[in-house]
Structure 1
Amino acid sequence: MSDQSPDTHWLPLTLAQLDFWEEFRLHPDTPVSTVAHAIELRGPCDTGALAGAIAETIAETDVMALGLAVDPDGQPRQRIDPARAPALRRIDLCGRADGRDHAFALMQADMEARLDLLTQPIFAQWLIRLAEDHHIWLNRGHHIAVDGYGMGLIERRCAAHYAARLTGGDAGPRLGAFGDYLNEETDYRAGPRHAADGGHWAQILAHAPPPRILRKGSENYPTEALFAEHDLSPLRAALMARATALGMGWPDLLTVLCAIWVALRVTGPAAARRTDPQGRIAATLWLPYMSRMGSVSITVPALVVNILPLGVDLSPDEGLGAVLTRLSTALRKLRRHGRYRIEQIAQDYGVPSGGRFFFSPLINVLPFDAAHFTGCEMTRHVLSNGPGDGFNITIRGDGEARDLTLLTEADPALTPAAGFAALADSLPEFLRAALAADAATRPVEALPGLGR
């Protein structure tokens, strides 16, 4: 078993981190992959206890002190350097009529500022006091160090520290160590399972429409992406009923329904898709995969999330139920082999050095419970979660599918703005129809929202 510690050694970056390192080197003046959450708290709040809880969380989260350097051979290296841990910045805007607007303007300016991964702290932690009963905690990092699930771990841990300070109780188990994840990943890549997983992905891509390849550095991230947001809360009862009837988790059901809609509706340069002479459609789309279950990383804030291809093959006249069954089986296989990194899949596929897959269309269903701060009403604002390539669908809700929201985003250079709104509006229409009790027996093409 590997036993190298980033506390005492300079270690190589993981494959996932190397992609973000190359992005930084190619876009040094653009903070492309900043991740930032603003945790807004309303209600009676002990400001001192909250500040102490954030400070404890900083001290416990070793990846917040991640330092990067370049060795004499020009290779990036990483280690935990306590000097790089962020100091908690406290800002008092009490008495300002525009305090909340000013706070968000300050946070936006912070996200847009150049971030030098070699010389600056990778994380920032702010506590903004707007009134006795109104606070904002800014939790900001970079994808080279942490993914969205890791951000949630940090926030839930801080809430536990806050509750412990209020009650004098125990904050519970500590967060896991970054080095434990690095060692586990090293062991996996050296073991037999890694080779078996690679064979699976080689077979999948051999039968899929050829994915588009991007040259790193050529990305033209739009300043203003097209976006539409929809409230899916009215669909919760039908979603839970259909998921139970089909023996699926509700996130999987939404994932495969969105995949069907994407295969039938998203065309042009944002999609990898082909249609045979009989009208059968094959499409490749992309799914973020948490890649933490059964791993030490379940408690480690780090960059762990993977992105994996899902092949969709269907005929529009097929019954919805048959397509759902086939895609749910494909999802289970994806997870069995999901630890195999997309960067390695690209190398195996023959993507040249300096290139990468074009991750579009991408579907991301996030069923995670938010942190709960004792005595406060909490709203989490996702200020930035990194860029998307072409056409992206994000659905957020808690573990019980409450407060479901749908965000559809597109690059206007690839999806015409004139038709985007109608396209985005058709997805909730399709989901509503596909979750009806009798939908499984209907041909896919007969469902509203497909515009065929």
Structure 2
Amino acid sequence: MDDARPFLQPLSAAQLGIWLALEIAEDTANYNIAEYIEIHGPIDSGLFERALDQVISESQTLHLRFETGDGGLAQFIGPIPHRSLVKIDFSAAPDPRAAAESWMRSELSRPIELKRDPAFCYALLCLESDHYLWYQRYHHIIQDGYGAALIAQRLAGVYSALAEERRPEDSPFGSLGALLSADASYRVSDDFRRDQAYWTARFADRPEPVTLVEGPPAAACGIVRRTLHPPDSVLDELRSVARSAGATWPQVIIAAMAAYTHLFTASDNIILGLPVLARIGGAARRVPAMMSNVLPLRLHVRPDMTFRDLVKQAAGEARHVLRHQRYRSEALRRDLQWAGTQRRLYGPSVNIMAFDYELRFAGHPTTTHNLENGPIEDLSLFVYQRSETAGLRFEFKANAALYTDQDLTDHCARFLQVLSAMVSSPEAPVGRLDLLSPEERRQLLIDWNDTAHPVPPATVPALFEAQV
């Protein structure tokens, strides 16, 4: 026996789903996820690299290596990577920010060969002596959005401690091996069988979800995007409606998307995609890794029901989803005998990204900018709240093979009208609402400070359970 051979471990259920998707994907770069954190203040690049090296040494998911075993792709925890931080000074460029963003888009669009290439990349980009961007990119098979947030929080803490000549606190990260073992144990447990029974019963009639576009599904092929910044008062209004319905503000947004889909399609049976953490217990939530899941949330929307009643229904359904969130959507597709077909499991999706990103690097404030969350098969609404005191940012992303930029513009405006009606008149019937005229739609988009642009092909997400 070769004692030097690494101990191969099977992929988690979440990783296996990505691996199988990669086998048939036309553009594997769609499975890159990335963001950059804008640091408003000077940074000691040597100290930053030292802090990052420590964080990399602490996170076992960044040590993963892949090779093909008897049962397909397998992984092992290798040595600590010795890959230096990419440092680029763009301060002399005519437009430093544009040059930095161009570099990030290029790096993000590069397909990753898992058995050869590092599955992550970090870069520190200088715009001015007191203005930096920290870029983090991962292959989705090793990391989800929640895991990336854990890495960012730890890096800010370690860098700040070193800058203040303090000893960093002990690493909060848990064991990746324990997380993988718990995942394997779940798949042969009574909890797994109970979750399977719930999902197969809930979808025993094999419903066909409606979506906002005509025609068959299409593989993810580039993204059209529209970003909106609602007034600060919107979050207070959402919370007010949520309190009156015994719900949370994210559930109000979920209900608004269900109401909009109902009004646009005239269908009563609405199935939305709901990204979830798929992490149960404090130990699992301390491990940066790929665990997130997207499950169908099914609602029955009637024209005569009030918006508040729809919010109550959405809150109840969301609680059921979270109770059974570890059951993979890929497994449900197999249970429904939809594996290998183009049948959709859900229509539009709603992803609430309420991670705590009020980060400071040695006292310097930051702004977080999402780049890509993974493949977009249909239409997704991402809602960002980076701290308790921050306002909301809405980002609509759609599969460019199915939606044009104008399509997305129109959907954004009509959705905002539904959301506005819901918070202003929660007792009104859903079916009473007429959708916008072109003039009203244009005015609403202007009022909400829209910034829109299609993005090139490149590239899931997570939901804080306490806020769903």
TM-score by length of 1: 0.87
Quote the offset at 1:108 in angstroms: 1.3
Equivalent residue, structure 2, for 1:407: 395
Query: Is 1:377 equivalent to 2:365 in the alignment?
Result: yes
Corresponding residue for 1:109? Answer: 106
What is the deviation of 1:307? 0.8
Residue ranges of structure 1 left out of the alignment (5+ in a row):
1-6, 213-217, 268-273, 276-280
CA contact under 8 A between 2:161 and 2:362: conserved in structure 1?
no
**CA 322–93 in structure 1, closer or farther in 2 if over 3 Å, else same:** closer
Could you say which residue in structure 2 is the equivalent of 1:311?
298
3-state DSSP of counterpart to 1:184? helix
Once residues 30 and 293 of structure 2 are traced to their aligned partners in structure 1, the CA distance between those partners, rounded to angstroms, is 18
In structure 1, distance between residues paired with 2:150 and 2:430:
39
Deviation at residue 401 of structure 1 after TM alignment: 6.8
Q: In structure 1, what residue type is equivalent to 2:368?
A: R
Match status 1:288 vs 2:285: no
Asked whether the 8 Å contact 1:64–1:86 carries over to 2, the reply is no
Out of 335, 347, 352, the residue aligned to residue 339 of structure 2 is: 352
**Distance 1:116-1:29 versus aligned 2 partners, 3 A rule:** farther
* 3-state DSSP of counterpart to 2:203: helix
Query: Contact 1:264/1:450 (CA < 8 Å) preserved in 2?
Result: no
Q: Name the structure 1 match of 2:139.
A: 142
CA contact (8 A) 1:286 1:363 kept: yes
Change (3 A) 1:356 1:301: farther
CA shift, 1:134, in A, is 1.4
Partner of 2:440: none
Q: Normalising by the residue count of structure 2, what TM-score does the alignment of the two structures yield?
A: 0.84
The match for 1:3 is: none
Equivalent residue runs for 1:314-333 within 5 Å: 314-333=301-320
Equivalent position of 2:409 in the other structure: 421
Change (3 A) 1:412 1:129: closer
For 1:354 and 1:175, how far apart are their aligned partners in 2?
Answer: 39
Unaligned runs of at least 5 residues, structure 2: 211-216, 438-468
> 2-side partners of 1:356 and 1:55: how far apart?
44
Equivalent residue, structure 2, for 1:278: none
**What SS does the aligned partner of 2:402 have?**
coil
CA gap of 1:258–1:423, structure 2 versus 1, over 3 A, is same
**What is the CA distance between 1:354 and its match in structure 2?**
7.4
Q: In the TM superposition, what whole-angstrom CA distance separates every residue of 1:41-75 from its partner, at most 9, and x where no partner exists?
A: 1213333322221121111111112111101x361
| CA deviations over 1:225-278 (Å, ceiling 9, x no partner) | 33322112341221222223333222222222222222332x4xxxxxx84xxx
2:25 and 2:323 mapped to 1: Cα distance? 35
1: CA distance between counterparts of 2:434 and 2:363?
Answer: 44
1:264 maps to which residue? 263
Aligned CA distance change for structure 1 residues 356 and 100 (closer, same or farther; 3 Å):
same
The CA distance in 2 between the partners of 1:302 and 1:414, in whole Å, is 31
Q: What is the aligned counterpart of 2:48 among 41, 45, 50?
A: 50
Change (3 A) 1:173 1:447: farther
Shift in CA distance, 382/419, structure 1 to aligned 2, threshold 3 Å: closer
Give per-residue Cα distances to partners, 1:189-222, cap 9 Å, x unaligned. Answer: 121111011000001112462359xxxxx95323
State the distance in 2 between where 1:351 and 1:104 align.
40
Cα 1:262–1:373 change in 2 (3 A) is farther
Aligned to 2:118: 121
Separation in structure 2 between the aligned mates of residue 90 and residue 76 of structure 1, nearest angstrom: 33
**Per the alignment, in what secondary structure is the counterpart of residue 206 of structure 1?**
coil
Shift, 1:295, TM fit: 4.9
1:308 aligns to what SS in structure 2?
strand
The CA distance in 1 between the partners of 2:130 and 2:208, in whole Å, is 54
Counterpart residue identity of residue 333, structure 2: A
Aligned mates of 1:96, 1:320 — CA distance in 2: 52
Change (3 A) 1:85 1:199: farther
SS in 1 for 2:43: coil
Q: 1:209, 1:283 within 8 Å by CA — same for their partners in 2?
A: no
- Aligned residue number for residue 390 of structure 1: 378
Task: Output aligned runs, 1:21-60, within 5 Å.
Answer: 21-27=19-25, 30-60=28-58
Q: 1:104 to 1:227 in 2, by over 3 A?
A: closer
Q: Deviations over 1:333-364 (max 9, x none)?
A: 11111111112111211123577745531111
Answering whether residue 426 of structure 2 is matched by residue 443 of structure 1, we say no
Look up the equivalent residue of 1:400 and give its one-letter code: E
- Distance in 2 (CA, whole Å) between partners of 1:42 and 1:416 is 35
Contact (CA 8 Å) 2:220, 2:400: kept in 1 or not?
A: no
Change over 3 Å in CA distance of 1:449–1:80 after alignment to 2? farther
Q: Which residue of 1 aligns with 2:207?
A: 209
Determine whether 1:243 maps to 2:231: no
Residue 372 to residue 250, structure 1, CA distance change in 2 (3 Å): farther
Give secondary structure in 2 for the equivalent of 1:294.
coil
Equivalences, count: 425
Tell me which residue corresponds to 1:215.
none
Contact 1:91 1:129 in 2 (8 A): yes
Flag the 1:140–1:407 CA change in 2: closer, same or farther, 3 A: same
| Corresponding position of 2:329 | 342
% identical equivalent positions: 28
For the aligned residues, what is the CA RMSD? Answer: 2.6
